[in-house]
């Protein structure tokens, strides 16, 4: 399936910027699940200082906001041809070893509730089935609800709060899988929902490394493994490694952020 | 603790016999008027005050600035001894660079099962952001200060590798400068290898490590946390001596894909940054977001191949004391040779049997935190009170893998000047090693630290140690 994607992130600052940097994870790479046919990243109100690979093999851009700017607009757009592999990325590895994806991160520390969720997976013989069951269990415990969590909400906080978005679902899945002894990682990307072109936000899901299949994706929010409607942007240990935009800014003043995203066939 | 009677003294053999490296010096010394030497000692102190070498001691009231005491009896090493030492250091430093490249790339040593994965995976100094990346020229440790102790004629041990940010090189240079000013006649009488080339060599070594993208003559800068840092003097001293810029994080920005410093004529690109800011604070966009000392985005500029950071981020893995205990294996794994310099026997308290042994023999052992340095947070068993031992045992039981233990070594002594003449005191040695794609360069000499209290084995300046000039003879 050819997915035509246009993803715009617009920052508005109420005082002119003296110095601000944004690290973008906005360049999808070709792999066994997708072929990037064309892709561009453009910046208005700033410049791309450099483009390089990060330690997970993602391609990042470092953006410098123009001095005195009150607005920065980053647009990533292009076409990605996806291949349905039932969510199985397989035994494909980058520079980071599997043990790296077993490490706790600040956002995915195991709590008592997370440890309890891990019990069935820990002792499962059908690990794939157990992961799907776990995914359903997480969604039941944490229904999809916007506005209850933030970018720095931890897996435990979302689980305790009982509501969250795709990032929280992925974090809980990752925390549980790691505690059960399976390497797990965060995937950011896009999902074409069938009933609309304009999407609320970019998407995220979890990948768990199973002994026989290798990396397998689980989109907890939608209760499925990614199919051809999914395009991946970046991977990481948690959202902070793979977020589409992460930045720092000197000085005071408020900023507002508007994201517009279109994904269509 | 008392000086063991059987310790090795570097000046004397038996009662009267002087070891050959000291023969010439000792006969000069015996001809000197003690009153004149005492006066020289005072002059040396004044000299240090004038140049402004002081040292902030952490953990003391108001972190007062203090002079590190300087003793004017040199520590003398023969050319032959130095040759062996420097061969051993070079071997070790090459192995450490190969090790760092390996653990941040293919991880052959882990695949081969020579080091437990947990020692890397759970290592606080391991930086995932360095994975899948080769720094310019493949060099991780541009500047190393290997801590070495001696226990006998041919017995040298490496105590710590200090692959991260060894400090103290300014003392090596100032100590020699002081000796040259006070005793010029000594240096015409005895041929001592010079150390004064160090800043020039440091500059050359850093320039040779510049990224490929650097077109002309590399621009070098020293990044300091600022005037409140205990080693600020050294940062400004080295920048000055090298003819490099001294900068702080807020002077630097990302410009045209490079790191550039603010000057009166706009921004100027930096090719090599000798940073004296710890990893955690180096890049708030990547590491601690609250850091005001670092340079946001520098890790991306680094991974893009547009700057050399010396030493490379993440080299602290090699300073971990649990990793230290594997250093003989690491050397063999990467060089195919046996280690020339010995390692001190090290008990990893994270291992059940070792922990039991350490707890049973705590009063005889030195216990250190695996990530510690500078003598902070360590226990010197033989010098500790019953209560201190008991308290430390509790800490050990609570977090065993946070500690390693080593036997108390009978460190060699070198005489210092006291009121009654010469008296032996325990010493260690920190030679300074420069690594670039062109090779390994070891300055003949280094910093000799001396425990000024009779019988004491703690030489750290933060714990009241002093320093000496270190001579390597042209023989």
Which tens digits make up the pLDDT trace of A16-58? 999 999 999 999 999 999 999 999 999 999 999 999 999 999 9
| Domain range B347-407, CATH architecture | 2-Layer Sandwich (3.30)
- How far apart are alpha carbons B159 and B146 in whole angstroms? 8
Enumerate the residues of chain A whose CB falls inside 8 A of the CB of residue B261. Answer: none
Nearest to B208 by CA among B285, B139, B127: B139
Reported as a pLDDT band with limits 50, 70 and 90, residue B459 is confident
Partner residue facing B254 (CB), from A21, A52, A99: A21
Mean pLDDT value of segment B210-234: 92
Residues 6 or more apart whose CB falls under 8 angstroms from that of B184 comprise none
Kindly tell me if the per-residue pLDDT of B164 is higher than 60.
Answer: yes
User: How, if at all, do strands B155-160 and B342-343 pair?
Assistant: parallel
Q: Name the residue in chain B with its Cα closest to that of A96.
A: B131
Per-domain residue ranges for chain A?
2-82+244-264, 88-241
Q: Distance, in angstroms, between A127 CA and closest chain B CA?
A: 25
Torsion-angle region of B205 (φ positive above 0: left; ψ -120 to 50: alpha; else: beta):
alpha
pLDDT of residue B57: 42
pLDDT class for B7, splitting at 50, 70, 90?
confident
SS (H, E, C) B150-184: EEECCEEEEEECCCCCCCCHHHHHHHHHHHHHHCH
Phi, psi of B40, rounded to the nearest 5 degrees: -60, -35
What DSSP string describes B1-17?
A: -PPPTTPPBSSEETTTE
Mean pLDDT of chain B: 91
Mean pLDDT of all residues in A245-253: 89
ipTM of model: 0.95
A106 CB within 8 Å of a chain B CB: no
Which chain B residues contact residue A237 at CB under 8 A?
128
**Residue B376 above 80 pLDDT?**
no
For residue B324, the distance in angstroms to the closest alpha carbon of chain A comes to 22
pLDDT tens per residue, range B174-193: 999 999 999 999 999 999 99
Give the list of residues 6+ apart from residue A261 with CB closer than 8 angstroms, or none. A5, A6, A7, A8, A190, A198, A199, A200, A201, A202
Report how far residue B433's alpha carbon sits from residue B37's, in angstroms, rounded to the nearest whole number. Answer: 33
Closest residue in A to B122 (Cα) is A103
Beta strands in A18-145 (DSSP E): 20-27, 34-44, 46-53, 59-65, 71-82, 88-90
Percent of chain B with pLDDT over 70: 93
CB contact under 8 A, A99 and B121: yes
How would you classify the pairing of strands B421-430 and B447-450?
antiparallel
The residue ranges of every structural domain in chain B are: 12-211+307-344+409-472, 347-407
Helix (H) or strand (E) holding B329: helix B327-335
A65 or B371, greater pLDDT: A65
The 10 Å Cβ neighbour count of residue B28 is 14
* Distance between A119 CA and the closest CA of chain B, angstroms: 24
Nearest to A96 among B110, B128, B257 (CB): B128
Distance from CA of B297 to the nearest CA of A (A): 7
Cis omega (within 30 of 0) for bond into A210:
no
| CB A10, CB A73: distance < 8 Å | yes
CB contact under 8 Å between A248 and B129, yes or no, is: no
Task: Spell A203-224 as b/e; 16+ CB within 10 A means b.
Answer: bbbbbbbbeebbbbbbbbbbeb
pLDDT score, position B59: 39
Q: Out of 3.40.50.1110, 3.30.420.40, 3.10.620.30, 3.30.300.30, select the CATH number for domain A88-241.
A: 3.10.620.30
Size of interface A-B (CB pairs under 8 A): 70
Check: CB of residue B444 under 8 Å from CB of residue B469.
no
pLDDT band at residue B4 under the 50/70/90 scheme: very low
CATH 2.60.40.2250 for the A2-82+244-264 domain, yes or no: yes
pLDDT band at B264 (very low <50, low <70, confident <90, very high): very high
Cβ separation B130–A246 shorter than 8 A = no
Tell me which chain B residues have a C-beta less than 8 angstroms from the C-beta of A23: 285, 297, 300
For testing the chain A interface, which of B111, B296, B314 should be mutated: the one with the most A CBs within 10 Å?
Answer: B296
pLDDT over 70 percentage in chain A: 100
- Residue-wise pLDDT for B36-79, tens only, equals 988 988 888 787 776 655 554 443 343 445 678 899 999 999 99
Q: Which residue has the higher pLDDT, B105 or B165?
A: B105
């Amino acid at each position: 399936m050819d997915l035509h994607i246009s993803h715009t992130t617009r920052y508005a600052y109420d005082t002119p910027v003296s110095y601000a940097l944004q690290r973008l994870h906005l360049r999808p790479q070709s792999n066994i699940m997708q072929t990037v046919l064309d892709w561009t990243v453009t910046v208005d109100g700033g410049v791309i200082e450099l483009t390089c690979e990060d330690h997970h093999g993602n391609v990042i851009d470092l953006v410098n906001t123009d001095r005195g700017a009150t607005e920065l607009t980053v647009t990533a757009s292009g076409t990605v041809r996806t291949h349905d592999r039932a969510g199985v990325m397989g035994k494909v590895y980058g520079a980071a070893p599997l043990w790296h994806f077993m490490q706790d991160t600040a956002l995915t520390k195991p709590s008592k509730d997370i440890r309890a969720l891990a019990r069935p997976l820990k002792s499962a013989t059908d690990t794939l089935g157990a992961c799907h069951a776990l995914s359903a269990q997480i969604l039941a415990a944490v229904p999809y609800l916007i506005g209850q969590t933030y970018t720095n909400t931890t897996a435990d906080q979302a689980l305790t709060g009982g509501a969250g978005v795709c990032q929280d679902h992925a974090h809980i899945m990752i925390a549980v899988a790691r505690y059960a002894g399976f390497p797990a990682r965060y995937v950011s990307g896009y999902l074409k929902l069938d009933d609309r072109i304009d999407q609320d936000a970019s998407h995220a899901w979890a990948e768990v490394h199973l002994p026989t299949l290798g990396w397998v994706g689980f989109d907890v929010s939608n209760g499925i493994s990614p199919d051809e409607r999914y395009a991946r942007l970046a991977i990481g240990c948690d959202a902070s490694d793979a977020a589409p935009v992460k930045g720092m800014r000197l000085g005071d003043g408020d900023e507002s952020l508007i994201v517009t995203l279109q994904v269509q066939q | 603790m008392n000086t063991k009677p059987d310790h090795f003294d570097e000046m004397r053999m038996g009662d009267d016999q002087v070891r050959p490296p000291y023969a010439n010096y000792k006969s000069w010394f015996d001809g000197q008027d003690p009153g004149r030497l005492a006066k020289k000692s005072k002059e040396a102190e004044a000299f240090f005050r004038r140049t402004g070498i002081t040292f902030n001691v952490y953990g003391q009231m108001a972190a007062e600035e203090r002079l590190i005491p300087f003793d004017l009896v040199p520590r003398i090493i023969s050319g032959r001894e130095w040759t062996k030492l420097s061969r051993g250091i070079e071997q070790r430093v090459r192995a450490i660079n190969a090790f760092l490249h390996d653990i941040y790339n293919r991880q052959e040593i882990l695949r081969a099962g020579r080091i437990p994965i947990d020692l890397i995976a759970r290592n606080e100094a391991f930086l995932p952001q360095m994975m899948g990346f080769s720094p310019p020229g493949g060099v991780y440790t541009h500047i190393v200060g290997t801590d070495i102790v001696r226990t006998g004629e041919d017995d040298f041990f490496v105590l710590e590798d200090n692959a991260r940010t060894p400090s103290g090189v300014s003392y090596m240079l100032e100590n020699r400068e002081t000796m040259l000013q006070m005793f010029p006649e000594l240096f015409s009488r005895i041929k001592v290898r010079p150390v004064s080339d160090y800043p020039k060599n440091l500059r050359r070594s850093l320039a040779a490590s510049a990224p490929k993208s650097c077109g002309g003559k590399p621009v070098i800068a020293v990044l300091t946390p600022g005037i409140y840092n205990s080693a600020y003097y050294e940062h400004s001293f080295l920048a000055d001596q090298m003819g490099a810029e001294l900068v702080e994080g807020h002077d630097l920005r990302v410009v045209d894909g490079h790191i550039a410093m603010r000057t009166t004529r706009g921004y100027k690109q930096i090719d090599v940054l000798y940073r004296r800011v710890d990893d955690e604070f180096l890049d708030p966009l990547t590491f601690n977001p609250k850091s005001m000392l670092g340079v946001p985005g520098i890790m991306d500029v680094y991974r893009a191949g547009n700057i050399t950071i010396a030493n490379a981020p993440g080299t602290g893995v090699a300073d971990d004391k649990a990793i230290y205990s594997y250093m003989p294996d690491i050397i063999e794994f990467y060089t195919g040779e046996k280690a020339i310099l010995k390692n001190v026997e090290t008990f990893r308290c994270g291992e059940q049997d070792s922990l039991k042994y350490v707890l049973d023999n705590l009063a005889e052992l030195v216990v250190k935190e695996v990530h510690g340095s500078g003598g902070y947070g360590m226990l010197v068993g033989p010098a500790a009170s019953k209560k201190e031992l008991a308290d430390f045992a509790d800490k050990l039981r609570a977090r065993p893998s946070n500690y390693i233990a080593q036997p108390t070594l009978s460190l060699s002594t070198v005489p210092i000047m006291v009121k009654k003449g010469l008296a032996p005191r325990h010493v260690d040695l920190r030679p300074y090693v420069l690594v670039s794609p062109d090779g390994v360069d070891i300055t003949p000499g280094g910093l000799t630290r001396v425990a000024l209290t009779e019988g004491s084995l703690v030489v750290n300046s933060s714990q009241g140690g002093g320093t000496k000039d270190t001579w390597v003879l042209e023989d």
